[in-house]
Amino acid sequence: MKHSLISIAFIFLLPFIADAQFAYIKKSNVNLRTGPSTSTSITGKANVGEVYHVIGQQGEWTQIEQGYEEDYVWISSQFVEILNNDIFPEEKINAQFSIKDGSAYGFLTFEKAGKNEYGVPLVRYSILVKDTSLYESGGNGVIINETNTVIYYDDSLSQPEGCSTYASSSAIYDSKKKLLYFADILWNED
């Protein structure tokens, strides 16, 4: 029952997700403000890896939605990577994605995985992320080693269950920048 509700919710949310812009936060402990100026009040903080729905931009500032209830705040644009959410075409299921961040590196792959009980297409994903600094302690360096399935419907790929983002229930794919936000990680298309 839980998976069927997720499938139905994902399908109905698709029209609201396409063509939206998202802000990927590039630095930790960044001030969120009531207006587009350092002279306005600080309402909270944003941290690296978080993703927010973009409402608009004014000069060097980006207005984002901080939560589900039209809680709009401003963040300096220097701390965000704007992602244009394009369709995730079927041929990208065969693409390779990677990440390199300091001593951490990883890979993301997809493959078709049939359909669920409602006839909705599924995609199997595999993630492997390692940190070379962990080799020094005698470990294998594995941080994430995960394989599971997600829904692929109408050129949109759902996020895995348990992802922390509330900005979008689907993966965020920017075809011009060749970036994919999936499973709480910003991946580069190889």
Question: pLDDT of the chain along its 190 residues, tens only?
Answer: 444 444 444 444 444 445 689 999 999 999 999 999 999 999 999 999 899 999 999 999 999 998 766 789 999 999 999 999 888 999 999 999 999 988 999 999 999 999 999 999 999 999 999 998 888 777 889 999 999 999 999 889 999 988 766 667 889 999 999 999 999 999 999 9
- Does the domain at 21-84 match CATH 1.10.3720.10? Answer given as no
pTM recorded for the entire structure: 0.81
- How many whole angstroms separate alpha carbon 65 and alpha carbon 55? 7
Listed by start position, the domains of the chain span: 21-84, 86-189
